Amino acid sequence: MSIFDNLNSEDFWVSIKEPAEQLFSDLIYQGTLWELVEQGRIICKTIMLSGYCFYSLNNDMETVGKMAILNWTTIEPFSESCESHTRFGFRLKRRSIFKDFYTENSEELDKWLDCLSKICIKNDIEDDYEFVKEIGKGGFADVRLAKEIESDEMFAIKGICKAKVMEFGKNFDPIVDEIQIMRSLNHPNIVKLHRVYESETHVYLVLDYLEGGNLLRRLKSKGFYSEELARKITLKLLEVLEYLHSKNIVHRDIKLENILLVSKSSDIEIKIIDFGLACESNGSLTMRCGSPGYLAPEILKLQPYNEKVDIYSTGIVLYTLLSGIHPFEGYSGDKKLSQNRNGRLFFDEHCWGHVSKAAINVINLLANPDPISRLNASEAQKIKWFQVLGSGVRVNVLQRTPPEIRSPLTRGKSLEKYKAQKIKASRRLFMSRESIEEDAKTAIVEVGENKSPERKRREVSSRTEVLPKSPSKGSKNRKKHLKILEELELADDVCKEKRRCKK
């Protein structure tokens, strides 16, 4: 049984009378089809495919006599061998009702299938795609990389398990809403839904494949984003939200994981994904949903909300990009939701010394806990901080501590790697007096705290003076100093971690 059956009317054709010229603005394809009707008769018709509907033109070719809505109709191609030739066609099916249409030849069939597959539901995914590997997994769905057999083009296919949805007592309305919303969207920074398939066990959504991965993964590798890059990403995100909100669509799950990068080489070319929680609304919403840490406070306070919840989430995204730290990092469960409900953000000097006051002001405007005074997407783009984009104005990006140490997103293996590199560098200090001075300066700059240039120079001088001049290999003096340096390096890292945690 199809999950889309209840969305279709029982009658296939509906009689109407409209001028055909009104349909040309949304015209997708027009051609001649032969419809199989009662008692095996075949009637030739001129059909216009416009929007989500089939329109049958009258004999005068100027007016429409019948219309069929194809939104949730299943399409199945077929071929029949006759005495002297082969006939090609397709079947449009809804519930127990179906209509067979014949095309002039196989080439014409391919044209109709190409257009109809973007509107209807198909059921032969294995005939069109070859699955390569799993690239993502969720509660009800998994995402697999697949190659289209005809073109060799790569796509990401989201497979939603019907049994798992029903097992958790859910209905299929969110899946229907996701498909309907994504089919209505056409924006360069929104992932495109190409086709929908349904089997007995799954519903499949064929989407763009973006090899750059999500923004959270990229942030982990970078530590944090400069103001210039973060500004470009946020501006694109606001442009997407302005587009969605103009169509009365609220995303409700804006977060780093739902922002994909188009390629591995670009840090700013993005596309928004996952419209599973999105909805169409002209007024207030009440359903409590979203991702903890990105939720607007009014959702957690069980208050009615609107599209501005997406703006709050955008502010949290910008906060995390610039600092490398999520504002509610370190909290879990109810404590995290409590901090999220409060909505207050903190900007300690340790993580925000390199960020301009203008950027911090933008975060506060976007992530304003008060939904009434919070800016909408259009107003946010007019903030002066976004206007300097492309003007050549550069911000102060002084890095006070390495991102591997400063950002909890990259702590762990990266921290251990950093320690190993520092110890290795310390051993090289004993090779020559020149390398001692050069590496010691680098070490002070990298792991030193917020100190003036004069103070740093004094520390470099004092550190290099206590080191021996080229101690011999294997000497006790060399081993002693190596041990001291290693302990100093590790102690320095540990102290910094403790200070960060206290803050």
Contact of 236 with 242, CB cutoff 8 Å = no
Alpha carbon 174 to its chain's center: 18
Q: Is 158 annotated as ligand-binding? A: yes
Count of other CB atoms within 10 angstroms of residue 348: 11
* 341 vs 335: CA distance, rounded Å: 10
Q: What 8-state DSSP symbol labels residue 167?
A: H
SS3 115: helix
SS3 453: helix
**Residue 142 a catalytic site member:** no
Contact of 429 with 440, CB cutoff 8 Å = yes
Contact of 84 with 35, CB cutoff 8 Å = no
Distances (CA, A) of 258 to 158, 205, 274: 14, 16, 6
CB contact set of 259 (below 8 Å; sequence gap of 6+): 214, 215, 233, 237, 270, 271, 272, 273, 317
**Catalytic residue chosen out of the listed positions 60, 100, 173, 253:** 253
Alpha carbon 428 to its chain's center: 44
Instruction: Dihedral sign for Cα 319, 323, 326, 328, please.
Output: negative
Instruction: Dihedral sign for Cα 63, 69, 243, 230, please.
Output: negative
Contact of 205 with 160, CB cutoff 8 Å = yes
Known binding residues for ATP are 158
Catalytic residues: 253
Residues at the binding site are 158
